[in-house]
Amino acid sequence: MAVTKQRKAAAAAVGRRTPGAGGKIAVHFKKYYQLWLLALPGIILTLMFSYIPMTGLVIIFKDYNFTDGIFGSPWVGFKNFEFFFANFANAWRATKNTIILNLLYTVCGTIVSVALAVMFNEIRSKKYLKTTQSLSIMPYFISWVVAGGILRALLNYDGGAINNFLMALGMDRVDFYNDPKYWRIILTLCNIWKSAGYNGIIYFSTIAGFDTSLYESAQVDGANLWQRIRYITVPLLKPTIIIMFLLSIGKIMSGDLTMMMSITNLSPMLLDTTDIIDTYVYRSVIGVGDFVMGSAVGLYQSIFGFVLVLFSNWLVGRFDKDYKLF
């Protein structure tokens, strides 16, 4: 009996010394309350504009009408998704083009952006560096409408700069706006032109934080410029490249409708290679005016992208856990 009482007393003492879950939370907030106060505005804004509006997703599964409102409208299940898959051939074409184009944007854009960052890093004149960075990032702030006008001036069949050049060389004109086979390359080049400078500066800011003694030691050991880039810069950039890639994977099912409308004018002749999910939904829904159908496809894109991010993050973790996002 005495032993039992001693054990109970010891357990009670341990219970008093070890706070419960509520006590641990209270201790945590008491210790870090200043940091939580600092983060509070961001938390409130995120809840207000990102999470609370997600309750409106219920509209996707309802036959929405203004009289009953979002929560009073009758349930229709997955009926709002039917229009997207009604013509499976077109839906598959749009999905395939979206994935292919986004993969081209990501892979080719990353290569060009890293190359730009490495070139920025090798420029020793600060004045020249600022000039080149400003020129490279300038396209990022040009609207796709203006970019579409520039592209038309280059590719137009009658009077386009490229066709005039081909004619001067004695070659035949190319009708770019009626031949879909060129447009995956054209759209990839347009995306690189607009975004590579911006992403290049992100990579350059990472390179600027590298330890310069590594380059000095390699130079003393006789490493040339290419070897320093290959064995020091690129390996140290790998975590940033992987993080940027994982973030872009989440958008692989999304497309830039403004870009497509401005660059291709949604030409029916080019749909084989330029019809993405966003343009397909736009063409399908614009005549009906039912935004619920567009919201349904948006949910489909988001879920698919979320699953791809999880899979990509898991795949990266299989090779090196230090490079995982979470």
Total residue count of the chain as it appears in this document? 326
Return the minimum-mean-pLDDT range out of 36-45, 185-194, 292-301.
292-301
Spatial contact of 99 and 299, defined as CB atoms under 8 Å apart: no
Same structural domain for residues 204 and 294? yes
Number of domains, the chain: 2
* Helices and strands (DSSP H and E) totals, the chain: 16, 0
Distance, CA of 152 to CA of 159 (rounded, Å): 10
Same structural domain for residues 98 and 237? yes
Return the minimum-mean-pLDDT range out of 27-41, 44-58, 142-156, 304-318.
304-318
pLDDT tens per residue across span 50-70? 888 888 888 888 888 878 888
High-pLDDT (> 70) share of the chain, %: 91
pLDDT band at 5; cut points 50, 70, 90: low
Q: Considering the domain boundaries, does residue 178 fall inside one?
A: yes
Q: Considering the domain boundaries, does residue 316 fall inside one?
A: yes
pLDDT tens per residue across span 182-236? 999 999 999 999 999 999 999 999 998 898 898 889 988 888 989 999 999 999 9
What's phi and psi for 252, nearest 5 deg?
A: -70, -20
Listed in sequence order, the residues at least 6 apart from 251 whose beta carbon sits closer than 8 Å to its beta carbon are 102, 305
Q: Considering the domain boundaries, does residue 262 fall inside one?
A: yes
Same structural domain for residues 49 and 133? no
Whether residue 119 has pLDDT greater than 80:
yes
Listed in sequence order, the residues at least 6 apart from 258 whose beta carbon sits closer than 8 Å to its beta carbon are 144, 145
Task: Provide the token pair at 116.
Answer: 């730009």
Domain that holds residue 48: 15-60
Among 60, 94, 113, residue at a domain's last position: 60
Helix (H, G, I), strand (E, B) or coil at 62: strand
Q: Considering the domain boundaries, does residue 22 fall inside one?
A: yes
Same structural domain for residues 111 and 37? no
pLDDT band at 113; cut points 50, 70, 90: very high
Question: How many other CB atoms are there within 10 angstroms of residue 179's CB atom?
Answer: 13
Q: Which amino acid is at 162?
A: I
Q: Considering the domain boundaries, does residue 70 fall inside one?
A: no
